[in-house]
Amino acid sequence: MNPLLTALARFLIFPGLLFAVPAAWFFLWVERKAVALMQERVGPPFMQPFWDFIKLLGKETPPRPGIAGLIMRAWPLIAVSSAAGAVGLLPVLPSQGGFEGDLILLLALLELPSVCIICAGFSSRSLFGEIGSAREAALSVSYNIVFLLAIVSIAASQHTFRLEALAAMHPTFLTVLGVIAILVCLPAKLHINPFSLPNAEQEIYSGPMTEYAGPELAMWELAHGLEWVAATGLVATLVAPHIALAWGTTLLAACLFVVLSVAVVLLLSVLAAATARLAIDSSVRFYWQCTLIFAVLAISSALFVRFWS
Amino acid sequence: MKLWQRLMCTARRRSPWLFHMNAGSCNGCDIEIVAALSPRYDAEQLGVRLEGSPRHADILCVTGPVTRTAVNAVKTVYDQVCGPKAVVAIGSCPATTNVFIDSRTLVGPLDKHVPVDVYVPGCPPRPDAIIAGVARAATILAERGNNPPKTEMVMAETVKPVEEVQP
Amino acid sequence: MNILTMMWKNLRRGYQTLLFPARPKVTARFRGLVQFDPALCTGCAVCRFRCTSRAIEFKAGKGEFTWSYNPGQCTFCGRCVEGCIEHALKEGHTEHALSQQQDTPPVYVVQGELKKSYTVARRPPAPKPAAAPVATPTPNPAPGGTQ
Answer yes or no: is B120 within a domain.
Answer: yes
Which of A147, A125, A131, A285 is CA-nearest to residue A197?
Answer: A131
Return the pLDDT at A1.
Answer: 58
Return the pLDDT at A207.
Answer: 80
What is the arithmetic mean of pLDDT over A94-102? 73
- Residue A32: its chain C contacts at CB < 8 A? none
Compute the C-alpha angle A218/A221/A223, nearest 5°.
110
Are residues A59 and B15, on separate chains, in Cβ contact within 8 Å? no
- Residue A194: its chain C contacts at CB < 8 A? none
Summarised one tens digit per residue, pLDDT across range B13-40 is 999 999 999 999 999 999 999 999 899 9
| Total domains present in chain C | 1
- pLDDT > 50? residue B156: no
B166 alpha carbon, distance to own chain's centre: 31
What phi, psi does B116 have (nearest 5°)?
Answer: -100, 140
Answer yes or no: is B8 within a domain.
Answer: no
Give the residue numbers spanning the domain of C51: 39-104
Query: Which CATH number fits the domain that encloses residue B93?
Result: 3.40.50.12280
Pair B135, C106: CB distance under 8 Å? no
- Residue A44: its chain B contacts at CB < 8 A? 44-45, 47
Q: Which of A87-91, B71-75, C25-29 has the highest mean pLDDT?
A: B71-75
What is the arithmetic mean of pLDDT over B124-143? 92
Answer yes or no: is C144 within a domain.
Answer: no
CA distances from A125 to A61, B82, C33, C124 (A): 16, 18, 49, 75
Give the residue numbers spanning the domain of A221: 3-308
- Residue A32 forms contact with B (CB below 8 Å): yes
List the single range of A15-29, A67-81, A165-179 with lowest mean pLDDT: A165-179
ipTM exceeds 0.90, yes or no: no
Q: What are residue B21's DSSP bridge partners?
A: B62
- Residue A211 forms contact with B (CB below 8 Å): yes
Query: Which CATH number fits the domain that encloses residue C95?
Result: 3.30.70
Return the pLDDT at A152.
Answer: 85
3-state class (DSSP) for residue B19: strand
Arithmetic mean of pLDDT over chain C: 82
Torsion sign over Cα C67, C73, C75, C76? positive
Pair B21, A205: CB distance under 8 Å? no
Summarised one tens digit per residue, pLDDT across range A206-231 is 788 888 988 999 999 999 999 999 99
Are residues C15 and A273, on separate chains, in Cβ contact within 8 Å? no
User: How many angstroms separate the CA of residue C131 from the nearest CA in chain B?
Assistant: 41
- Residue B133: its chain C contacts at CB < 8 A? 107
What H or E segment, with its residue span, contains residue A168?
none
What H or E segment, with its residue span, contains residue C121?
strand C116-121
Arithmetic mean of pLDDT over chain A: 85
List the single range of A171-175, B98-102, B122-126 with lowest mean pLDDT: A171-175
Kindly give the pairing relationship between strand B86-90 and strand B118-120: parallel
pLDDT band at C147 (very low <50, low <70, confident <90, very high): very low
pLDDT band at A166 (very low <50, low <70, confident <90, very high): confident
Between A200 and C145, where is the model more confident? A200
Return the pLDDT at A181.
Answer: 87
Return the pLDDT at A291.
Answer: 82
Q: For residues A17 and A4, what is the distance between their CA atoms, to the nearest angstrom?
A: 16
Are residues C7 and A36, on separate chains, in Cβ contact within 8 Å? no
Answer yes or no: is C110 within a domain.
Answer: no
- How many C-beta neighbours within 10 Å does residue A74 have? 15
Are residues A58 and B8, on separate chains, in Cβ contact within 8 Å? yes
Are residues B47 and A44, on separate chains, in Cβ contact within 8 Å? yes
Nearest CB neighbour to B44, from listed A36, A204, A206: A36
Indicate the Cα dihedral angle A169, A175, A178, A182, nearest 10°: 40
- Residue B14: its chain A contacts at CB < 8 A? 45, 47-48, 51, 55
- Residue B145: its chain A contacts at CB < 8 A? 58
Summarised one tens digit per residue, pLDDT across range B63-113 is 999 999 999 999 999 999 988 999 999 999 999 988 998 889 999 899 899
Return the pLDDT at C145.
Answer: 42
- pLDDT > 60? residue B150: no
- pLDDT > 60? residue A276: yes
Which residue of C lies nearest to A42 if distances are taken between CA atoms? C15
- Residue C11 forms contact with B (CB below 8 Å): no
Are residues A274 and C3, on separate chains, in Cβ contact within 8 Å? yes
- pLDDT > 90? residue B120: yes
Answer yes or no: is C2 within a domain.
Answer: no
- Helix-strand-coil split of chain C, %, nearest 5: 20, 15, 65
Q: For residues C53 and B91, what is the distance between their CA atoms, to the nearest angstrom?
A: 14
Q: For residues A234 and A18, what is the distance between their CA atoms, to the nearest angstrom?
A: 18
Kindly give the pairing relationship between strand C116-121 and strand C64-69: antiparallel
Interface of A with C (CB under 8 A): 36-43, 270, 273-274
Which residue of C10, C12, C13 is the best one to mutate when testing the A interface, meaning the one whose CB has the most A CBs within 10 A?
C10
Q: For residues C90 and C103, what is the distance between their CA atoms, to the nearest angstrom?
A: 29
Give the residue numbers spanning the domain of B38: 17-144
pLDDT band at A244 (very low <50, low <70, confident <90, very high): very low
User: How many angstroms separate the CA of residue B63 from the nearest CA in chain A?
Assistant: 17
List the single range of B26-30, C83-87, C124-128 with lowest mean pLDDT: C124-128
Q: What is the pTM of this model?
A: 0.87
Residues found in chain A: 309
Nearest CB neighbour to C11, from listed A37, A43, A274: A37
Summarised one tens digit per residue, pLDDT across range C4-13 is 899 999 889 8
Are residues B83 and A59, on separate chains, in Cβ contact within 8 Å? yes
| Total domains present in chain B | 1
- Residue B148: its chain A contacts at CB < 8 A? 60
User: How many angstroms separate the CA of residue A30 from the nearest CA in chain B?
Assistant: 14
Return the pLDDT at C144.
Answer: 44
| Total domains present in chain A | 1
Are residues C15 and A38, on separate chains, in Cβ contact within 8 Å? no
What is the arithmetic mean of pLDDT over B149-157? 52
Summarised one tens digit per residue, pLDDT across range A281-292 is 888 888 888 888
Summarised one tens digit per residue, pLDDT across range A104-117 is 999 999 999 999 99
